Amino acid sequence: MKFKITLLFFSLFLIANTGHSQEAFEINVFVDADKNIYLEEQKLSMNELLEETKALVYKQPAVKYNRLVYNIYADKNLKHGFIMDLNHQLLRAVDGLKSKTNKYLLEYKNLDLDESAWQLEIKSLKLDAIED
Instruction: Report the C-alpha gap between 91 and 99 in whole angstroms.
Output: 8
Please indicate, yes or no, if residue 15 is contained in any of the structural domains: no
Residue 104 counted as domain residue: yes
Give residue-wise pLDDT tens across range 10-28.
Answer: 444 444 444 444 688 999 9
Which comes out higher in pLDDT, residue 41 or 97?
41
- Which CATH number goes with the domain that contains 110? 3.30.420
Q: How many domains, in total, are found in the chain?
A: 1
Model pLDDT, residue 10: 44
pTM of the entire structure? Answer: 0.71
User: 44 lies in which domain range?
Assistant: 23-123
Reduce the secondary structure of the chain to three states and give it as a string.
Answer: CHHHHHHHHHHHHHHHHHHHHCEEEEEEEEECCCCCEEECCEEECHHHHHHHHHHHHHCCCCCCEEEEEEEEEEECCCCHHHHHHHHHHHHHHCCCCEEEEEEEEECCCCCCCCCCCHHHHHHCCCCCCCCC
* Domain membership flag for residue 2: no
- Rg (the chain; Cα; Å): 18
